Amino acid sequence: MIKWVDVYKAFGEKKVLDGFTLDVHEGEAVVIIGYSGAGKSVAIKHVVGLLEPDRGTVEVDDNDVPTLPRKELYELRAHIGYVFQFAALFDSMTIGDNVAMGLRKRGEMSESDIAHRVAEALELVDLPDVQHQYPAELSGGMRKRVGIARAVALRPKYILYDEPTTGLDPVTSAVIDELMIRMREKLGVTSVVITHDMRSAYRVGSRIAMLYDGRVRQVGTVEEIQHTKDPIVRQFIEGRATLEGDAASLAAPGPAFESGATARGGGAE
Amino acid sequence: MKRGNDFVVGLVVIGSVVAIVLFALWLSQASLGSKQRNVVARFTDVGNAKVGNSVVIRGVQAGRIQSIELEPTGWVLVKMSLDPDIKLPSNPVVVLSESSMFGEWQATIMERAAAPDDADVQQQLAQSGAVGRGSALPGARLPDIAQLTAVAGRIAGDMSRVADRFQVAFDDRAANELRQSIRNFADLSAELERTVRTQSQGLSQLSSDVHKTVGTINATAVAVQRTADRVDSSTSKGQIHQIMDNVGQASDDIKATSHDLRNASHSLMATQQQLTSVLTHADSVLGKIDRGQGSLGLMVNDPTLYQNGDALLSQMRELVAEIRAHPRQYLSVKIF
Amino acid sequence: MNVIEATGRWVRFRVEEAGRAGRFLEEAALAFGSVRSWLPNATLQMRRLGVDSLPIGLLIAVFTGIVLALLASYSFTGAVPLYFVGTLVEKTITLELAPVLTGLALAGRVGANIAAELGTMRVTEQVDALETLAYDPDSYLVVPRVVAGTIMFPLIVGVAMIVGLGAGWLASIGLLHLSSDEFLKGARMFFSTFDVEYGLVKAGSFGFAVTLIGCYKGLRARGGAEGVGNAATQAVVYSAVMILVLDAFWAMTWLHGRS
């Protein structure tokens, strides 16, 4: 269980998280949506201790992450897979080495077991033949899938996806969505997904939380979010330019506005 | 890939460490592997000799000083390592001396008979040779010039004190003391000359100019001493004129000396002026004595005269003190 | 009022920066303890930062040696015998020029390389990725580089000393018509192994400073390509300044007071 309790985080004068509270239960896939720069990545970076909150706590399985000693923090990280927005593959290493990194660090598996696990993870993301290539030789979508394979290879309990489909074509996005669903259903992984691609959010999420102004504006099942009365959430999920004005098109969710949302989310966080 | 890196890095690390160590050893001329022959010599005093200074046999570098130790008995043991195939001269002794005007010293291994014919050096050799025959070679060290100038300064002080007596009376006792002082000075300059000669036997670097200058100073001192003898006897016999001639001659000698010095140290303008003024005073003092009735009474009674004499001597003293303080400026004119 | 506030802000930033640098140093020192995590990377870095820097170090040494020989002979004209060319070349190369000139050249090559590489890793989240895979960036990225720099700089400088003196020697024979023996006489006259020790220790401190500054600036890079560029520039500038400061430090604390 991942728990944010009243988290505050500011960078200089800029407040990013301002009383952020959210629970993620075992087996769930919680999607966090919100505007670019709203602090979604900041929120999940707290989970692995890459950032420390100014105030409030972040708990993973009842461990208080910010106060965890270094050694235990590294132990905790071994149970959490993190898929970075731009994959963040180590470009001086082959794909195989990239995926094997975390396993080698753990040091409890033999080199042949590691090779086996790497092949398995790459198989899972439908990239069986890229082991000996370098990240620069792959396309953006393939790199993201390798990033997922790297996180999955550790057999983590949790996976945090930071904008896994941003900037990809619709078909590749769908492939990655499928992958995330498979992870949850096949491996029972609890996941937190950050996205502003609403189509992906509806497909992947068991619950959706909207981050707005540093706190959770609304959290609920896909159904609940789709039928929300909150104007700000409505504006976001329908992709309107103004609060009341009509923008992309229909009142009800459908393919037409979703591509609009994707286009808007195309920018970097 | 990784193994390749390890290999290249290992190769470069080992290669450069070996190269750097060999380089340092080669430059410092330490010898590796080849067996060195050790020779020990005993000294009362090693002057400025240091570990690493050259050991020379008949002008050829043959090794280095390896260690210098103070023995509980009060002797200094100097251990030298020589190339193994070098043959020592028969009945060898070791003489420490300056090898350059930088204060660098060297140890020369020579035959006992070839050692400098200097009473002090001979005495040192005899003493250290008597202590432990066979265990260590007898050693001696040549005095350096700075020491001699220190003695010269003390004698000049004596002369000045004698000159103070002029003020009271130029009596027999004063004349005797003056004569003694001048004789000391003569001895000193003779010693200076001898030292320079002994030093230069082994050390061609010492400038011949200095040698010549010291010779002239010696001649001057002899002349001055002659004059002083006359002064001594004149107190009873009054042969002042003759004395004046001699003093005049001595003054010429001093002038010549100063000329030599000037040639030797053309860079030291201040010294020249000091010398010139000394000589001017000497000239005027002598002139006055000469023009006077040749009587010592006049000399004693004329205050300017004795004051001039006094000033002359104190200036000489200053000069000597100056030479003592900065011997290298005066005596190492041609360093290279 | 604005002046006072600006001053206060400036002081606060400096103090914060110093505190961050101190903490960085502390963490790097702690990471040094876990030998197993940095040792495998050290040889790679020794290759990249050290062995691959040899050519530039040697090139500099060759030219320095030749120029020093010519400069010495020009300055000594008439007044001083020519074998002192050897003395001057030996002393200046081993004590000062081999460590400092090589150090400055490597500050450019190594400092910029490290800052750019780690800066890129930082802005593309590779450093974060390392952390999430339970790698400590200090022991995985920083320590191997600092160790490699501290070991390899002295070696490069030592070889540069040899090559520099050799170049000066050849130049003296070829261009100044000095005999080989005369040059060696001059070089040996005042040589002491301390000269080499001093130069090598100095080089080691330069290697330590250059790599550490490169890592610090690289890991603190922010933004995109521009941030990486800034990090590289700052790493080179700070490294060069630090080399001169260390040079003066060693001269004052170690050289000064020796006869």
* Chain B nearest CA to C226, separation (Å): 32
Strands (E), chain A: 2-11, 14-24, 29-33, 55-60, 63-64, 80-83, 158-162, 190-194, 207-212, 215-221
Taking each helix axis from N to C end, the angle separating B145-168 and B172-202, rounded to the nearest 10 degrees, works out to: 170
What mean pLDDT, rounded, does chain C reach? 89
Q: Which residues pair with A209 in a beta bridge?
A: A32, A219
pLDDT for position C92: 92
pLDDT for position C162: 94
pLDDT in tens, B183-217: 666 666 666 556 555 554 544 444 455 555 556 65
Inter-residue contact B264 to B333 (CB < 8 Å) = yes
Examine the pLDDT at C6 and tell me if it is beyond 70: yes
The span from the CA of C111 to the CA of C217, in Å, is: 9
Instruction: State how beta strands A207-212 and A215-221 pair.
Output: antiparallel
Examine the pLDDT at B180 and tell me if it is beyond 70: no
Examine the pLDDT at B266 and tell me if it is beyond 50: no
- Using CB atoms and an 8 Å cut-off, which of residues 102-141 of chain C contact chain A? 121, 124-126, 128-136
Alpha-carbon torsion, ordered A106, A109, A114, A120, to 10 deg: -100
Those residues of chain A that have pLDDT short of 70 are: 244-269
pLDDT in tens, A70-82: 888 888 888 898 9
The span from the CA of B28 to the CA of C94, in Å, is: 13
**HSE-up of residue B289 (Cα within 13 Å, Cβ side):** 25
Cβ-defined contact of C132 to A105 (cutoff 8 Å)? no
Q: Which of B30-44, B88-102, B201-215, C204-218 is modeled with the greatest confidence? A: C204-218
Which chain A residue has its CA at the smallest distance from C123's CA? A88
Average pLDDT over residues C11-25: 85
pLDDT for position A66: 86
Cβ-defined contact of A84 to C134 (cutoff 8 Å)? no
* Residue A2 backbone dihedrals phi, psi, to 5 degrees: -105, 135
Per DSSP, the three-state class of A9 is: strand
Q: Which residues of C touch A45 (CB under 8 A)?
A: 128
The span from the CA of C223 to the CA of C234, in Å, is: 15
> Looking at the 3D structure of chain A, how many domains does it have?
1
Percent of chain B with pLDDT over 90: 1
- C44 in A contact zone (CB under 8 Å): no
pLDDT for position C155: 94
Q: Which residues of C touch A150 (CB under 8 A)?
A: 129, 133
Q: Which residues of A touch C134 (CB under 8 A)?
A: 74-75, 77-78, 102, 105-106
* Chain C nearest CA to B55, separation (Å): 14
Per DSSP, the three-state class of A7 is: strand
Between C238 and A165, the higher pLDDT residue: C238
CATH of the domain at A260: 3.40.50.300
Q: Which chains touch A (3 or more CB pairs under 8 A)?
A: C
Q: Which helix (H) or strand (E) segment is B37 a member of?
A: strand B37-43
Cβ-defined contact of A105 to C131 (cutoff 8 Å)? no
Inter-residue contact C106 to C249 (CB < 8 Å) = no
The span from the CA of B334 to the CA of B326, in Å, is: 15
- B24 in C contact zone (CB under 8 Å): yes
Evaluate if pTM is beyond 0.90.
no
**Distance set, CA A197 to CA A164, A169, A181, A220, A241 (Å):** 10, 12, 15, 17, 16
β-sheet with A55-60: strand ranges across = A14-24, A2-11, A55-60, A63-64
Structure tokens at A176: 């990655």
Q: Which of A78-82, B51-55, B223-227 is modeled with the greatest confidence? A: A78-82
Which chain C residue has its CA at the smallest distance from B27's CA? C188
Task: Inspect the structure and tell me whether chains C and B have 3 or more CB pairs less than 8 Å apart.
Answer: yes
Q: What is the DSSP string of A145-200?
A: HHHHHHHHHT--SEEEEESSSTTS-HHHHHHHHHHHHHHHHHH--EEEEE-S-HHH
Q: Which residues of C touch A81 (CB under 8 A)?
A: 132
Inter-residue contact C115 to C78 (CB < 8 Å) = no
The count of CB pairs under 8 A between chains A and C is: 51
Q: Which residues of A touch C125 (CB under 8 A)?
A: 84-86, 88
Of A81, A90, A154, nearest to C126 by CB-CB distance is: A90
User: How many C-beta neighbours within 10 Å does residue B307 have?
Assistant: 14
- B8 in C contact zone (CB under 8 Å): yes
The span from the CA of B309 to the CA of A57, in Å, is: 101
- B3 in C contact zone (CB under 8 Å): no
Average pLDDT over residues B131-158: 66
Residue whose structure tokens are 């922010």: C222
* CA dihedral sign of residues C40, C42, C43, C47: positive
pLDDT for position C207: 95
The span from the CA of C216 to the CA of C235, in Å, is: 8
pLDDT for position A1: 87
pLDDT for position A19: 87
Average pLDDT over residues C182-195: 84
Inter-residue contact A67 to A56 (CB < 8 Å) = no
Examine the pLDDT at C236 and tell me if it is beyond 90: yes
Cβ-defined contact of B5 to C43 (cutoff 8 Å)? yes
Cβ-defined contact of A85 to C124 (cutoff 8 Å)? no
* Chain C nearest CA to B132, separation (Å): 34
* Chain B nearest CA to C193, separation (Å): 6
Q: Which helix (H) or strand (E) segment is B77 a member of?
A: strand B76-82
Q: Which residues of C touch A102 (CB under 8 A)?
A: 133-134
Between A109 and C59, the higher pLDDT residue: C59
The span from the CA of B49 to the CA of B243, in Å, is: 48
Task: Inspect the structure and tell me whether chains A and B have 3 or more CB pairs less than 8 Å apart.
Answer: no
Q: What is the Cα B17 distance to its own chain's centre?
A: 46
Say if A73 falls within a structural domain. yes
Q: What is the DSSP string of C172-189?
A: HHHHS---HHHHHHHHHH
* CA dihedral sign of residues B290, B292, B293, B298: negative
pLDDT for position A13: 83
Structure tokens at B38: 């050790």
Cβ-defined contact of C43 to B17 (cutoff 8 Å)? no
Which chain C residue has its CA at the smallest distance from B17's CA? C155
Cβ-defined contact of B23 to C162 (cutoff 8 Å)? yes
End-to-end CA distance of chain A: 26
Which chain B residue has its CA at the smallest distance from C53's CA? B12
pLDDT for position B312: 59
pLDDT for position C137: 87
For an interface test with C, give the residue of B1, B8, B27, B60 to mutate (most C CBs within 10 A).
B27
Examine the pLDDT at B286 and tell me if it is beyond 60: no
Q: Which residues of B touch C165 (CB under 8 A)?
A: 23
Residue B296: band (very low, low, confident or very high) from pLDDT cuts 50, 70, 90: very low
* Chain A nearest CA to C69, separation (Å): 44
Inter-residue contact B107 to B95 (CB < 8 Å) = yes
Cβ-defined contact of B16 to C192 (cutoff 8 Å)? no
What mean pLDDT, rounded, does chain B reach? 65
* Structural domain boundaries, residue A76: 27-52+59-264
For an interface test with A, give the residue of C133, C138, C140, C222 to mutate (most A CBs within 10 A).
C133
Complex ipTM value:
0.79
Cβ-defined contact of B8 to C51 (cutoff 8 Å)? yes
Of C90, C155, C162, nearest to B13 by CB-CB distance is: C155
Residues 6+ positions from C48 with CB-CB distance below 8 Å: C113, C148
For an interface test with C, give the residue of B1, B9, B26 to mutate (most C CBs within 10 A).
B9
Q: Which chains touch C (3 or more CB pairs under 8 A)?
A: A, B
Residue B311: band (very low, low, confident or very high) from pLDDT cuts 50, 70, 90: low
* Chain B nearest CA to C168, separation (Å): 14
How big is the CA angle at A11 (ends A8 and A17), to the nearest 5 degrees? 30
Residues 6+ positions from B291 with CB-CB distance below 8 Å: none
**Distance set, CA A165 to CA A85, A190, C39, C122 (Å):** 9, 18, 38, 22
Between C41 and B273, the higher pLDDT residue: C41
- B61 in C contact zone (CB under 8 Å): no
Q: Which residues of B touch C193 (CB under 8 A)?
A: 24, 28
Per DSSP, the three-state class of A65 is: helix
Say if A15 falls within a structural domain. no
* Chain A nearest CA to C222, separation (Å): 13
Q: Which residues of A touch C130 (CB under 8 A)?
A: 90, 101
Buried/exposed B158-179: b ≥16 CB within 10 Å, e otherwise: bbbebbebbeeebeeebbebbb
Q: Which helix (H) or strand (E) segment is B23 a member of?
A: helix B2-27
The span from the CA of A145 to the CA of C182, in Å, is: 70
Q: Which residues of A touch C128 (CB under 8 A)?
A: 45, 50, 82, 84, 88
Closest CA to B159 of B189, B180, B190, B186: B180
Cβ-defined contact of A77 to C134 (cutoff 8 Å)? yes
The span from the CA of B46 to the CA of B96, in Å, is: 7
